[in-house]
Structure 1
Protein backbone atom coordinates (compact mmCIF):
# COMPACT_ATOMS: atom_id res chain seq x y z
CA UNK A 1 0.00 0.00 0.00
CA UNK A 2 1.26 3.48 -0.85
CA UNK A 3 2.62 5.16 2.29
CA UNK A 4 4.56 7.98 0.62
CA UNK A 5 3.16 9.81 -2.41
CA UNK A 6 5.27 12.21 -4.46
CA UNK A 7 4.12 14.25 -7.44
CA UNK A 8 6.29 15.98 -10.03
CA UNK A 9 5.12 19.23 -11.62
CA UNK A 10 6.99 21.51 -14.08
CA UNK A 11 8.31 25.02 -13.43
CA UNK A 12 6.36 26.05 -16.55
CA UNK A 13 3.08 25.53 -14.65
CA UNK A 14 2.46 29.28 -14.33
CA UNK A 15 4.17 30.49 -17.50
CA UNK A 16 0.92 30.93 -19.44
CA UNK A 17 -0.30 33.87 -17.35
CA UNK A 18 1.29 37.26 -16.71
CA UNK A 19 -1.16 38.11 -13.92
CA UNK A 20 0.46 37.17 -10.59
CA UNK A 21 -2.90 36.85 -8.87
CA UNK A 22 -3.99 34.22 -11.41
CA UNK A 23 -0.62 32.49 -11.08
CA UNK A 24 -1.05 32.38 -7.30
CA UNK A 25 -4.54 30.92 -7.55
CA UNK A 26 -3.35 28.33 -10.08
CA UNK A 27 -0.63 27.11 -7.74
CA UNK A 28 -3.19 27.18 -4.93
CA UNK A 29 -5.23 24.55 -6.74
CA UNK A 30 -2.19 22.27 -6.78
CA UNK A 31 -1.56 22.80 -3.06
CA UNK A 32 -5.17 22.24 -2.10
CA UNK A 33 -5.41 19.10 -4.26
CA UNK A 34 -2.18 17.75 -2.78
CA UNK A 35 -3.56 18.20 0.73
CA UNK A 36 -6.93 16.62 -0.11
CA UNK A 37 -5.25 13.48 -1.44
CA UNK A 38 -2.47 13.31 1.18
CA UNK A 39 0.51 14.03 -1.07
CA UNK A 40 3.71 13.90 0.98
CA UNK A 41 6.09 15.58 -1.44
CA UNK A 42 5.77 18.00 -4.35
CA UNK A 43 8.81 18.16 -6.62
CA UNK A 44 9.06 21.00 -9.11
CA UNK A 45 11.29 20.14 -12.05
CA UNK A 46 12.58 22.28 -14.93
CA UNK A 47 11.21 21.94 -18.42
CA UNK A 48 12.19 23.81 -21.57
CA UNK A 49 9.38 26.39 -21.28
CA UNK A 50 9.92 27.17 -17.60
CA UNK A 51 12.61 29.03 -15.70
CA UNK A 52 14.04 29.32 -12.20
CA UNK A 53 12.04 32.48 -11.47
CA UNK A 54 8.75 30.62 -12.03
CA UNK A 55 10.07 27.58 -10.20
CA UNK A 56 10.89 29.64 -7.11
CA UNK A 57 7.48 31.34 -7.29
CA UNK A 58 5.69 27.97 -7.32
CA UNK A 59 7.85 26.71 -4.44
CA UNK A 60 7.21 29.85 -2.37
CA UNK A 61 3.44 29.64 -2.79
CA UNK A 62 3.23 25.92 -2.03
CA UNK A 63 5.49 26.25 1.02
CA UNK A 64 3.47 29.22 2.29
CA UNK A 65 0.25 27.22 1.93
CA UNK A 66 1.62 24.29 3.92
CA UNK A 67 2.81 26.52 6.78
CA UNK A 68 0.30 26.98 9.65
CA UNK A 69 -1.29 30.44 9.60
CA UNK A 70 0.11 31.41 13.01
CA UNK A 71 3.71 30.93 11.80
CA UNK A 72 3.54 32.64 8.42
CA UNK A 73 4.37 36.17 9.55
CA UNK A 74 7.43 34.93 11.43
CA UNK A 75 8.71 32.75 8.60
CA UNK A 76 7.90 34.60 5.39
CA UNK A 77 9.07 38.14 4.62
CA UNK A 78 6.77 40.27 2.49
CA UNK A 79 7.95 39.54 -1.04
CA UNK A 80 6.47 40.13 -4.46
CA UNK A 81 5.93 36.39 -4.86
CA UNK A 82 3.56 36.41 -1.87
CA UNK A 83 1.69 39.56 -2.85
CA UNK A 84 -1.60 37.79 -3.63
CA UNK A 85 -1.63 34.97 -1.08
CA UNK A 86 -5.03 36.19 0.06
CA UNK A 87 -6.60 34.32 -2.87
CA UNK A 88 -5.23 30.97 -1.67
CA UNK A 89 -7.70 28.45 -0.25
CA UNK A 90 -6.98 27.23 3.31
CA UNK A 91 -5.71 23.67 3.60
CA UNK A 92 -7.62 22.83 6.83
CA UNK A 93 -5.30 19.89 7.46
CA UNK A 94 -4.55 18.54 10.97
CA UNK A 95 -1.34 20.62 11.19
CA UNK A 96 -3.39 23.81 10.57
CA UNK A 97 -5.43 23.99 13.82
CA UNK A 98 -7.95 26.81 14.15
CA UNK A 99 -8.88 26.60 17.84
CA UNK A 100 -7.01 27.16 21.07
CA UNK A 101 -4.30 24.64 22.01
CA UNK A 102 -5.22 21.54 24.03
CA UNK A 103 -3.10 19.29 26.21
CA UNK A 104 -1.90 16.32 24.17
CA UNK A 105 -2.37 18.11 20.86
CA UNK A 106 0.34 18.09 18.22
CA UNK A 107 1.32 21.46 16.76
CA UNK A 108 4.04 22.80 14.54
CA UNK A 109 6.15 25.37 16.31
CA UNK A 110 8.89 27.83 15.43
CA UNK A 111 11.88 28.00 17.77
CA UNK A 112 12.56 31.62 18.70
CA UNK A 113 15.37 31.76 21.28
CA UNK A 114 17.44 29.68 23.68
CA UNK A 115 17.29 30.05 27.45
CA UNK A 116 18.89 28.30 30.40
CA UNK A 117 15.72 26.21 30.69
CA UNK A 118 15.50 25.18 27.03
CA UNK A 119 13.99 26.73 23.89
CA UNK A 120 11.18 29.27 23.53
CA UNK A 121 8.67 28.19 20.85
CA UNK A 122 5.74 29.79 19.04
CA UNK A 123 2.97 27.18 18.73
CA UNK A 124 0.16 29.62 17.94
CA UNK A 125 -1.02 30.01 21.55
CA UNK A 126 -1.71 33.27 23.40
CA UNK A 127 1.68 32.82 25.09
CA UNK A 128 4.98 31.39 23.92
CA UNK A 129 5.79 27.84 24.95
CA UNK A 130 8.89 26.27 26.49
CA UNK A 131 10.58 23.13 25.23
CA UNK A 132 13.15 21.87 27.74
CA UNK A 133 15.31 20.59 24.89
CA UNK A 134 18.01 22.85 23.39
CA UNK A 135 17.09 23.28 19.72
CA UNK A 136 18.41 25.31 16.76
CA UNK A 137 16.74 28.71 16.42
CA UNK A 138 14.26 29.68 13.68
CA UNK A 139 13.49 26.08 12.78
CA UNK A 140 10.06 24.47 12.58
CA UNK A 141 9.45 21.26 14.52
CA UNK A 142 6.40 19.30 15.58
CA UNK A 143 5.64 19.51 19.29
CA UNK A 144 3.17 17.84 21.64
CA UNK A 145 1.59 20.07 24.29
CA UNK A 146 2.33 18.68 27.75
CA UNK A 147 0.99 21.45 29.98
CA UNK A 148 -1.16 24.58 29.64
CA UNK A 149 -1.56 27.45 32.08
CA UNK A 150 0.74 30.26 33.11
CA UNK A 151 3.53 28.26 31.52
CA UNK A 152 3.01 26.18 28.37
CA UNK A 153 5.29 23.18 28.17
CA UNK A 154 5.87 21.25 24.94
CA UNK A 155 8.13 18.47 23.75
CA UNK A 156 9.17 17.35 20.32
CA UNK A 157 7.14 14.51 18.85
CA UNK A 158 6.57 12.72 15.57
CA UNK A 159 3.05 12.64 14.09
CA UNK A 160 1.80 9.12 13.39
CA UNK A 161 -1.28 7.99 11.49
CA UNK A 162 -2.19 11.59 10.64
CA UNK A 163 -1.64 13.60 7.49
CA UNK A 164 0.91 16.29 8.35
CA UNK A 165 1.17 18.22 5.09
CA UNK A 166 3.63 18.07 2.21
CA UNK A 167 7.26 19.02 1.60
CA UNK A 168 8.24 21.07 -1.44
CA UNK A 169 11.46 20.82 -3.45
CA UNK A 170 12.53 22.70 -6.54
CA UNK A 171 15.02 20.64 -8.53
CA UNK A 172 16.22 22.90 -11.34
CA UNK A 173 16.93 19.96 -13.62
CA UNK A 174 15.03 18.17 -16.41
CA UNK A 175 12.64 15.54 -15.15
CA UNK A 176 14.85 12.71 -16.43
CA UNK A 177 17.49 13.81 -13.90
CA UNK A 178 15.05 14.94 -11.20
CA UNK A 179 13.50 11.49 -10.79
CA UNK A 180 16.94 9.99 -10.21
CA UNK A 181 17.60 12.18 -7.18
CA UNK A 182 15.67 9.73 -4.99
CA UNK A 183 14.67 6.07 -5.11
CA UNK A 184 11.00 5.39 -5.84
CA UNK A 185 9.36 1.98 -5.72
CA UNK A 186 7.10 2.81 -8.68
CA UNK A 187 6.94 5.71 -11.14
CA UNK A 188 3.85 6.45 -13.20
CA UNK A 189 3.74 9.09 -15.91
CA UNK A 190 0.55 10.82 -17.04
CA UNK A 191 0.09 11.65 -20.71
CA UNK A 192 -2.63 12.11 -23.30
CA UNK A 193 -0.67 9.57 -25.33
CA UNK A 194 -0.64 7.05 -22.51
CA UNK A 195 -2.77 3.94 -22.15
CA UNK A 196 -6.34 4.88 -21.14
CA UNK A 197 -6.61 4.18 -17.44
CA UNK A 198 -9.84 2.23 -17.99
CA UNK A 199 -7.74 -0.42 -19.77
CA UNK A 200 -5.25 -0.88 -16.92
CA UNK A 201 -7.22 -0.41 -13.70
CA UNK A 202 -6.18 -3.79 -12.33
CA UNK A 203 -2.51 -3.12 -13.07
CA UNK A 204 -2.70 0.31 -11.41
CA UNK A 205 -4.47 -1.19 -8.39
CA UNK A 206 -1.76 -3.82 -8.12
CA UNK A 207 0.96 -1.16 -8.20
CA UNK A 208 -0.82 0.87 -5.51
CA UNK A 209 -1.18 -2.09 -3.17
CA UNK A 210 2.42 -3.26 -3.63
CA UNK A 211 4.24 0.07 -3.54
CA UNK A 212 5.56 1.94 -0.53
CA UNK A 213 6.79 5.11 -2.27
CA UNK A 214 4.94 6.10 -5.45
CA UNK A 215 5.86 8.96 -7.77
CA UNK A 216 3.37 10.37 -10.30
CA UNK A 217 4.70 12.63 -13.06
CA UNK A 218 2.84 15.48 -14.78
CA UNK A 219 3.78 17.45 -17.90
CA UNK A 220 3.60 21.17 -18.59
CA UNK A 221 1.10 23.45 -20.37
CA UNK A 222 2.95 23.52 -23.69
CA UNK A 223 4.43 20.06 -23.92
CA UNK A 224 3.90 16.71 -22.29
CA UNK A 225 6.49 14.53 -20.64
CA UNK A 226 9.49 13.58 -22.82
CA UNK A 227 9.53 10.15 -24.44
CA UNK A 228 13.05 9.64 -23.05
CA UNK A 229 11.32 8.94 -19.73
CA UNK A 230 9.75 5.76 -21.04
CA UNK A 231 12.65 3.55 -19.96
CA UNK A 232 12.61 5.03 -16.44
CA UNK A 233 8.91 4.59 -15.63
CA UNK A 234 6.65 1.66 -14.81
CA UNK A 235 3.66 2.86 -16.80
CA UNK A 236 2.37 5.78 -18.87
CA UNK A 237 -1.36 6.36 -18.51
CA UNK A 238 -4.07 8.72 -19.71
CA UNK A 239 -6.27 9.50 -16.69
CA UNK A 240 -8.72 11.62 -18.72
CA UNK A 241 -9.61 9.49 -21.75
CA UNK A 242 -11.96 11.02 -24.33
CA UNK A 243 -11.35 14.52 -22.99
CA UNK A 244 -13.76 17.15 -24.27
CA UNK A 245 -11.21 19.97 -24.41
CA UNK A 246 -8.21 20.37 -26.66
CA UNK A 247 -5.89 20.51 -23.69
CA UNK A 248 -5.97 19.62 -20.00
CA UNK A 249 -4.13 21.97 -17.67
CA UNK A 250 -1.59 20.54 -15.25
CA UNK A 251 -3.62 21.43 -12.17
CA UNK A 252 -6.67 19.74 -13.75
CA UNK A 253 -4.63 16.61 -14.52
CA UNK A 254 -3.35 16.49 -10.94
CA UNK A 255 -6.87 16.69 -9.53
CA UNK A 256 -8.26 14.06 -11.91
CA UNK A 257 -5.36 11.66 -11.46
CA UNK A 258 -5.12 11.81 -7.67
CA UNK A 259 -8.87 11.35 -7.41
CA UNK A 260 -8.67 8.08 -9.34
CA UNK A 261 -5.64 6.83 -7.40
CA UNK A 262 -7.34 7.65 -4.11
CA UNK A 263 -10.41 5.67 -5.15
CA UNK A 264 -8.32 2.66 -6.16
CA UNK A 265 -6.27 2.74 -2.96
CA UNK A 266 -9.37 2.71 -0.77
CA UNK A 267 -11.43 0.34 -2.89
CA UNK A 268 -12.83 -2.53 -0.84
Structure 2
Protein backbone atom coordinates (compact mmCIF):
# COMPACT_ATOMS: atom_id res chain seq x y z
CA UNK A 1 0.00 0.00 0.00
CA UNK A 2 3.06 2.27 0.59
CA UNK A 3 3.28 5.44 -1.44
CA UNK A 4 0.14 4.75 -3.38
CA UNK A 5 -0.84 7.40 -5.85
CA UNK A 6 -4.57 7.89 -5.99
CA UNK A 7 -7.06 9.84 -7.98
CA UNK A 8 -8.79 12.32 -5.73
CA UNK A 9 -11.33 15.08 -6.02
CA UNK A 10 -8.56 17.62 -5.60
CA UNK A 11 -6.00 15.81 -7.75
CA UNK A 12 -3.82 15.03 -4.72
CA UNK A 13 -1.81 11.96 -3.87
CA UNK A 14 -0.95 10.32 -0.66
CA UNK A 15 2.01 9.46 1.24
CA UNK A 16 1.48 12.50 1.79
CA UNK A 17 -2.12 12.04 2.34
CA UNK A 18 -3.88 15.31 1.59
CA UNK A 19 -4.46 18.04 4.26
CA UNK A 20 -3.49 19.70 7.40
CA UNK A 21 -4.01 21.58 10.55
CA UNK A 22 -4.70 23.48 13.59
CA UNK A 23 -2.78 22.26 16.57
CA UNK A 24 -4.93 22.63 19.63
CA UNK A 25 -3.19 22.61 22.96
CA UNK A 26 0.21 22.56 21.25
CA UNK A 27 1.94 23.78 24.37
CA UNK A 28 1.12 20.61 26.24
CA UNK A 29 3.80 17.93 26.49
CA UNK A 30 2.82 14.49 25.21
CA UNK A 31 1.78 11.95 27.80
CA UNK A 32 4.06 8.93 27.43
CA UNK A 33 1.58 6.80 29.37
CA UNK A 34 -0.94 7.05 26.52
CA UNK A 35 -0.41 3.79 24.72
CA UNK A 36 -2.35 2.81 21.60
CA UNK A 37 -5.66 1.09 22.03
CA UNK A 38 -5.34 -2.63 21.71
CA UNK A 39 -5.77 -3.58 18.10
CA UNK A 40 -8.70 -5.70 17.06
CA UNK A 41 -6.03 -7.90 15.50
CA UNK A 42 -3.49 -9.85 17.54
CA UNK A 43 -0.77 -9.28 14.94
CA UNK A 44 0.09 -7.30 11.84
CA UNK A 45 -2.40 -7.39 9.00
CA UNK A 46 -1.40 -7.47 5.34
CA UNK A 47 -4.74 -8.02 3.61
CA UNK A 48 -6.71 -5.00 2.46
CA UNK A 49 -10.41 -4.18 2.42
CA UNK A 50 -11.86 -1.73 -0.10
CA UNK A 51 -15.36 -0.27 -0.47
CA UNK A 52 -16.79 1.15 -3.71
CA UNK A 53 -19.62 3.67 -3.37
CA UNK A 54 -21.40 5.60 -6.16
CA UNK A 55 -21.41 9.40 -6.29
CA UNK A 56 -25.17 9.35 -6.86
CA UNK A 57 -25.62 8.70 -3.13
CA UNK A 58 -24.92 12.44 -2.80
CA UNK A 59 -26.75 13.54 -5.97
CA UNK A 60 -29.96 12.17 -4.47
CA UNK A 61 -29.81 14.29 -1.30
CA UNK A 62 -31.92 17.45 -0.96
CA UNK A 63 -29.57 19.79 0.91
CA UNK A 64 -25.97 20.42 1.87
CA UNK A 65 -26.78 19.30 5.42
CA UNK A 66 -28.09 15.93 4.24
CA UNK A 67 -25.27 15.45 1.74
CA UNK A 68 -22.67 16.12 4.45
CA UNK A 69 -24.39 13.76 6.89
CA UNK A 70 -24.47 10.95 4.30
CA UNK A 71 -20.77 11.39 3.49
CA UNK A 72 -19.96 11.42 7.21
CA UNK A 73 -21.87 8.19 7.77
CA UNK A 74 -19.93 6.46 5.00
CA UNK A 75 -16.63 7.75 6.43
CA UNK A 76 -17.52 6.50 9.91
CA UNK A 77 -18.46 3.08 8.54
CA UNK A 78 -15.13 2.82 6.71
CA UNK A 79 -13.23 3.58 9.91
CA UNK A 80 -15.33 1.34 12.16
CA UNK A 81 -14.72 -1.66 9.89
CA UNK A 82 -11.02 -1.03 9.21
CA UNK A 83 -11.45 -0.23 5.51
CA UNK A 84 -8.19 0.62 3.72
CA UNK A 85 -9.55 2.14 0.51
CA UNK A 86 -12.80 3.89 -0.37
CA UNK A 87 -13.47 4.13 -4.11
CA UNK A 88 -16.01 6.75 -5.17
CA UNK A 89 -17.26 6.04 -8.68
CA UNK A 90 -19.26 8.12 -11.13
CA UNK A 91 -22.42 6.16 -11.97
CA UNK A 92 -24.06 8.72 -14.27
CA UNK A 93 -25.67 7.63 -17.51
CA UNK A 94 -23.40 8.67 -20.43
CA UNK A 95 -20.97 10.87 -18.46
CA UNK A 96 -18.72 13.27 -20.35
CA UNK A 97 -15.18 11.76 -20.47
CA UNK A 98 -12.76 13.46 -18.13
CA UNK A 99 -15.47 14.93 -15.89
CA UNK A 100 -16.91 13.96 -12.52
CA UNK A 101 -20.42 14.36 -11.23
CA UNK A 102 -20.86 16.92 -8.48
CA UNK A 103 -21.84 14.14 -6.08
CA UNK A 104 -18.71 12.10 -6.83
CA UNK A 105 -16.41 15.07 -6.21
CA UNK A 106 -18.33 16.07 -3.06
CA UNK A 107 -18.20 12.61 -1.52
CA UNK A 108 -14.49 12.14 -2.26
CA UNK A 109 -13.67 15.55 -0.83
CA UNK A 110 -15.57 15.00 2.44
CA UNK A 111 -14.12 11.50 2.84
CA UNK A 112 -10.60 12.91 2.48
CA UNK A 113 -11.38 15.66 4.99
CA UNK A 114 -12.73 13.19 7.53
CA UNK A 115 -9.76 10.83 7.22
CA UNK A 116 -7.19 13.58 7.79
CA UNK A 117 -6.20 14.14 11.45
CA UNK A 118 -7.74 17.34 12.79
CA UNK A 119 -4.36 18.97 13.50
CA UNK A 120 -3.35 18.66 9.83
CA UNK A 121 -6.49 19.89 8.12
CA UNK A 122 -5.87 23.63 8.01
CA UNK A 123 -2.46 23.28 6.41
CA UNK A 124 -3.32 20.53 3.91
CA UNK A 125 -6.96 20.97 2.90
CA UNK A 126 -7.95 24.02 0.86
CA UNK A 127 -11.16 25.75 1.85
CA UNK A 128 -14.08 24.63 -0.32
CA UNK A 129 -17.82 25.13 -0.29
CA UNK A 130 -18.35 21.35 -0.13
CA UNK A 131 -16.63 21.32 3.28
CA UNK A 132 -18.63 24.16 4.84
CA UNK A 133 -20.42 21.81 7.26
CA UNK A 134 -17.89 18.97 7.40
CA UNK A 135 -16.36 20.26 10.63
CA UNK A 136 -19.64 19.49 12.42
CA UNK A 137 -19.54 15.78 11.59
CA UNK A 138 -18.76 13.22 14.30
CA UNK A 139 -14.98 12.55 14.11
CA UNK A 140 -13.63 9.18 13.01
CA UNK A 141 -11.64 8.92 16.26
CA UNK A 142 -9.33 6.45 14.50
CA UNK A 143 -5.95 5.55 16.07
CA UNK A 144 -4.07 8.01 13.81
CA UNK A 145 -6.29 10.89 14.97
CA UNK A 146 -4.31 11.69 18.10
CA UNK A 147 -4.62 14.30 20.81
CA UNK A 148 -1.99 16.97 21.44
CA UNK A 149 -0.87 15.30 24.69
CA UNK A 150 -0.83 11.75 23.36
CA UNK A 151 2.35 9.85 22.41
CA UNK A 152 2.50 6.85 20.11
CA UNK A 153 5.10 5.07 18.05
CA UNK A 154 3.58 6.35 14.79
CA UNK A 155 2.08 9.71 13.96
CA UNK A 156 0.91 11.58 10.86
CA UNK A 157 2.77 14.74 9.96
CA UNK A 158 2.91 17.42 7.27
CA UNK A 159 6.11 18.92 5.88
CA UNK A 160 6.35 22.63 6.69
CA UNK A 161 9.91 23.34 5.51
CA UNK A 162 13.06 21.65 4.27
CA UNK A 163 16.77 22.43 4.32
CA UNK A 164 17.76 19.96 1.62
CA UNK A 165 19.07 17.10 3.76
CA UNK A 166 16.14 16.91 6.14
CA UNK A 167 12.69 18.37 6.59
CA UNK A 168 10.59 19.58 9.49
CA UNK A 169 7.05 18.37 10.06
CA UNK A 170 4.02 19.57 11.98
CA UNK A 171 2.89 16.59 14.03
CA UNK A 172 0.38 18.34 16.27
CA UNK A 173 2.66 18.33 19.31
CA UNK A 174 4.61 20.96 21.25
CA UNK A 175 7.64 20.39 19.02
CA UNK A 176 8.17 19.77 15.34
CA UNK A 177 9.58 16.49 14.04
CA UNK A 178 12.81 16.34 12.03
CA UNK A 179 12.99 13.74 9.25
CA UNK A 180 15.93 12.76 7.07
CA UNK A 181 15.31 13.31 3.37
CA UNK A 182 13.75 16.03 1.28
CA UNK A 183 10.00 16.20 0.68
CA UNK A 184 7.91 18.99 -0.84
CA UNK A 185 6.05 21.30 1.53
CA UNK A 186 2.55 20.14 2.49
CA UNK A 187 3.49 16.51 1.86
CA UNK A 188 1.71 14.27 4.31
CA UNK A 189 3.95 11.60 5.85
CA UNK A 190 3.51 8.68 8.19
CA UNK A 191 6.29 8.99 10.79
CA UNK A 192 7.82 6.50 13.18
CA UNK A 193 8.83 8.37 16.35
CA UNK A 194 9.58 5.44 18.64
CA UNK A 195 7.95 4.22 21.82
CA UNK A 196 9.12 7.24 23.85
CA UNK A 197 9.82 10.88 22.93
CA UNK A 198 13.34 11.58 21.66
CA UNK A 199 13.84 15.35 21.56
CA UNK A 200 17.14 17.05 20.77
CA UNK A 201 18.20 20.67 20.28
CA UNK A 202 19.08 21.91 16.81
CA UNK A 203 21.09 24.90 15.65
CA UNK A 204 22.25 27.82 17.73
CA UNK A 205 18.74 28.61 18.90
CA UNK A 206 18.60 25.47 21.00
CA UNK A 207 15.03 24.74 19.88
CA UNK A 208 14.16 21.10 20.38
CA UNK A 209 12.67 18.74 17.79
CA UNK A 210 11.52 15.14 17.88
CA UNK A 211 13.53 12.69 15.79
CA UNK A 212 11.39 10.73 13.35
CA UNK A 213 11.63 8.46 10.33
CA UNK A 214 9.29 8.56 7.32
CA UNK A 215 7.74 5.13 6.69
CA UNK A 216 5.06 3.59 4.52
CA UNK A 217 1.53 4.62 5.44
CA UNK A 218 0.74 0.90 5.77
CA UNK A 219 3.45 0.06 8.32
CA UNK A 220 1.34 0.64 11.48
CA UNK A 221 -1.23 -1.87 10.22
CA UNK A 222 1.14 -4.37 8.66
CA UNK A 223 3.57 -4.51 11.60
CA UNK A 224 1.46 -3.68 14.67
CA UNK A 225 -2.08 -4.41 13.48
CA UNK A 226 -3.15 -0.82 14.22
CA UNK A 227 -5.73 0.59 11.80
CA UNK A 228 -4.31 3.68 10.09
CA UNK A 229 -7.13 5.14 8.02
CA UNK A 230 -8.17 4.83 4.39
CA UNK A 231 -7.18 6.31 1.06
CA UNK A 232 -9.74 7.72 -1.36
CA UNK A 233 -9.74 6.78 -5.03
CA UNK A 234 -12.03 8.28 -7.66
CA UNK A 235 -13.17 6.07 -10.57
CA UNK A 236 -14.98 7.02 -13.77
CA UNK A 237 -17.33 4.03 -13.57
CA UNK A 238 -17.84 0.54 -12.22
CA UNK A 239 -15.39 -0.97 -14.72
CA UNK A 240 -12.72 1.50 -13.55
CA UNK A 241 -13.39 0.50 -9.94
CA UNK A 242 -12.52 -3.10 -10.82
CA UNK A 243 -9.82 -2.45 -13.42
CA UNK A 244 -7.75 0.28 -11.75
CA UNK A 245 -6.95 -1.44 -8.47
CA UNK A 246 -3.79 0.08 -6.91
CA UNK A 247 -2.71 -3.13 -5.21
CA UNK A 248 -0.28 -5.66 -6.69
CA UNK A 249 -2.21 -8.42 -8.43
CA UNK A 250 -5.50 -6.53 -8.28
CA UNK A 251 -8.53 -7.49 -6.19
CA UNK A 252 -8.51 -11.26 -5.76
CA UNK A 253 -11.98 -11.24 -4.20
CA UNK A 254 -14.82 -8.95 -5.28
CA UNK A 255 -18.27 -8.88 -3.70
CA UNK A 256 -21.28 -7.11 -5.17
CA UNK A 257 -24.16 -6.30 -2.81
CA UNK A 258 -27.74 -6.33 -4.03
CA UNK A 259 -31.25 -7.29 -2.98
CA UNK A 260 -31.09 -9.66 -5.98
CA UNK A 261 -27.99 -11.41 -4.66
CA UNK A 262 -27.72 -14.74 -2.88
CA UNK A 263 -29.43 -14.50 0.49
CA UNK A 264 -27.98 -16.39 3.44
CA UNK A 265 -27.06 -15.68 7.02
CA UNK A 266 -23.57 -14.39 7.94
CA UNK A 267 -22.66 -17.72 9.57
CA UNK A 268 -23.28 -19.57 6.29
CA UNK A 269 -21.19 -17.16 4.21
CA UNK A 270 -18.12 -18.93 2.84
CA UNK A 271 -15.30 -16.72 1.56
CA UNK A 272 -12.10 -17.96 -0.07
CA UNK A 273 -8.80 -16.68 1.27
CA UNK A 274 -7.98 -13.25 -0.10
CA UNK A 275 -5.30 -10.57 -0.06
CA UNK A 276 -7.26 -7.68 -1.54
CA UNK A 277 -11.04 -7.57 -1.07
CA UNK A 278 -13.44 -5.16 -2.76
CA UNK A 279 -17.05 -4.73 -1.62
CA UNK A 280 -19.18 -2.71 -4.07
CA UNK A 281 -22.46 -0.89 -3.51
CA UNK A 282 -24.96 0.44 -6.02
CA UNK A 283 -26.94 3.65 -6.13
CA UNK A 284 -30.68 4.27 -6.23
CA UNK A 285 -31.26 1.50 -8.80
CA UNK A 286 -28.55 -0.85 -7.58
CA UNK A 287 -25.41 -2.29 -9.12
CA UNK A 288 -27.50 -3.72 -11.93
CA UNK A 289 -28.14 -0.22 -13.28
CA UNK A 290 -24.48 0.76 -12.84
CA UNK A 291 -23.40 -2.28 -14.87
CA UNK A 292 -25.91 -1.67 -17.65
CA UNK A 293 -24.70 1.91 -18.09
CA UNK A 294 -21.01 0.95 -18.18
CA UNK A 295 -20.04 0.15 -21.78
CA UNK A 296 -16.74 -1.37 -20.64
CA UNK A 297 -18.49 -4.20 -18.79
CA UNK A 298 -19.17 -6.98 -21.28
CA UNK A 299 -22.79 -8.05 -21.24
CA UNK A 300 -23.72 -5.44 -18.67
CA UNK A 301 -24.64 -8.09 -16.08
CA UNK A 302 -23.57 -7.05 -12.58
CA UNK A 303 -23.46 -10.67 -11.39
CA UNK A 304 -20.76 -11.49 -13.93
CA UNK A 305 -18.58 -8.59 -12.76
CA UNK A 306 -18.04 -9.99 -9.24
CA UNK A 307 -16.84 -13.22 -7.68
CA UNK A 308 -19.75 -13.17 -5.22
CA UNK A 309 -23.12 -11.41 -5.43
CA UNK A 310 -24.89 -11.32 -2.09
CA UNK A 311 -27.94 -9.95 -0.36
CA UNK A 312 -26.65 -8.82 3.04
CA UNK A 313 -30.10 -7.97 4.43
CA UNK A 314 -32.55 -10.73 3.50
CA UNK A 315 -36.10 -10.20 4.70
CA UNK A 316 -35.81 -6.41 4.83
CA UNK A 317 -38.88 -4.63 6.16
CA UNK A 318 -38.52 -1.52 4.01
CA UNK A 319 -38.93 -1.56 0.24
CA UNK A 320 -35.62 0.23 -0.12
CA UNK A 321 -32.31 0.38 1.72
CA UNK A 322 -30.38 3.56 1.15
CA UNK A 323 -26.76 3.20 0.05
CA UNK A 324 -25.36 4.70 3.25
CA UNK A 325 -27.49 2.20 5.21
CA UNK A 326 -26.40 -0.69 2.97
CA UNK A 327 -22.75 0.15 3.57
CA UNK A 328 -23.14 -0.13 7.34
CA UNK A 329 -25.34 -3.25 7.16
CA UNK A 330 -23.10 -5.04 4.66
CA UNK A 331 -19.77 -4.34 6.32
CA UNK A 332 -21.20 -5.58 9.61
CA UNK A 333 -22.58 -8.68 7.88
CA UNK A 334 -19.20 -9.46 6.28
CA UNK A 335 -16.95 -8.62 9.22
CA UNK A 336 -16.53 -12.09 10.75
CA UNK A 337 -15.83 -13.72 7.38
CA UNK A 338 -13.34 -10.98 6.45
CA UNK A 339 -11.31 -11.48 9.61
CA UNK A 340 -11.36 -15.23 9.21
CA UNK A 341 -10.23 -15.39 5.57
CA UNK A 342 -7.92 -12.41 5.03
CA UNK A 343 -4.36 -13.60 4.40
CA UNK A 344 -2.04 -12.24 7.07
Shift of the 189–23 alpha-carbon distance from structure 1 to 2, 3 Å rule, reads same
Render the CA deviation track for 1:159-179: whole Å, top value 9, x for unaligned. 22211100001112x203321
Alignment partners' CA distance in 1, 2:255 and 2:165: 50
Q: Which residues of structure 1 form unaligned runs of 5+?
A: none
1:97 aligns with 2:158: no
Alignment partners' CA distance in 1, 2:90 and 2:325: 19
Residue number among 240, 248, 255 corresponding to 1:177 in the alignment: 240
Alignment partners' CA distance in 2, 1:223 and 1:265: 23
Show the 5 A alignment for 1:120-139. 120-139=168-187
Alignment partners' CA distance in 2, 1:10 and 1:116: 42
1:189 aligns with 2:262: no
Q: Secondary structure of the equivalent of 1:90? A: coil
In the alignment, what sits opposite 1:246? 319
1:30 aligns with 2:74: yes
- Shift in Å, 1:136: 2.7
Render the CA deviation track for 1:78-127: whole Å, top value 9, x for unaligned. 2101000133111111110124253x621010011111551010111123
Alignment partners' CA distance in 2, 1:143 and 1:96: 13
Deviating more after overlay: 188-197 vs 111-120: 111-120
Q: Which residues of structure 2 form unaligned runs of 5+?
A: 1-44, 201-207, 292-299
1:20 aligns with 2:78: no
- Shift in Å, 1:266: 4.5
Shift of the 8–250 alpha-carbon distance from structure 1 to 2, 3 Å rule, reads same
Shift of the 83–214 alpha-carbon distance from structure 1 to 2, 3 Å rule, reads same
Residue number among 208, 214, 217 corresponding to 2:280 in the alignment: 217
Q: Secondary structure of the equivalent of 1:220? A: coil
Q: Secondary structure of the equivalent of 1:179? A: helix
* Contact 2:154–2:191 (CA under 8 A) maintained in structure 1: yes
In the alignment, what sits opposite 2:297? none
* Contact 2:287–2:302 (CA under 8 A) maintained in structure 1: no
Show the 5 A alignment for 1:133-152. 133-145=181-193, 147-148=198-199, 150-152=208-210
In the alignment, what sits opposite 1:76? 125
* Contact 1:24–1:87 (CA under 8 A) maintained in structure 2: no
**Aligned-residue RMSD, C-alpha:** 2.2
* Contact 1:2–1:211 (CA under 8 A) maintained in structure 2: no
- Shift in Å, 1:192: 0.6
* Contact 2:92–2:101 (CA under 8 A) maintained in structure 1: no
* Contact 2:148–2:173 (CA under 8 A) maintained in structure 1: no
Alignment partners' CA distance in 1, 2:304 and 2:286: 19
Alignment partners' CA distance in 1, 2:190 and 2:209: 19
TM-score by length of 2: 0.71
Q: Secondary structure of the equivalent of 2:92? A: coil
Higher strand share: 1
Render the CA deviation track for 1:224-243: whole Å, top value 9, x for unaligned. 43352322211111001111
In the alignment, what sits opposite 2:42? none
- Shift in Å, 1:144: 1.7
Alignment partners' CA distance in 2, 1:112 and 1:95: 19
TM-score by length of 1: 0.90
* Contact 1:100–1:125 (CA under 8 A) maintained in structure 2: yes
In the alignment, what sits opposite 2:213? 155
Aligned residue pairs, count: 262
Q: Secondary structure of the equivalent of 2:319? A: coil
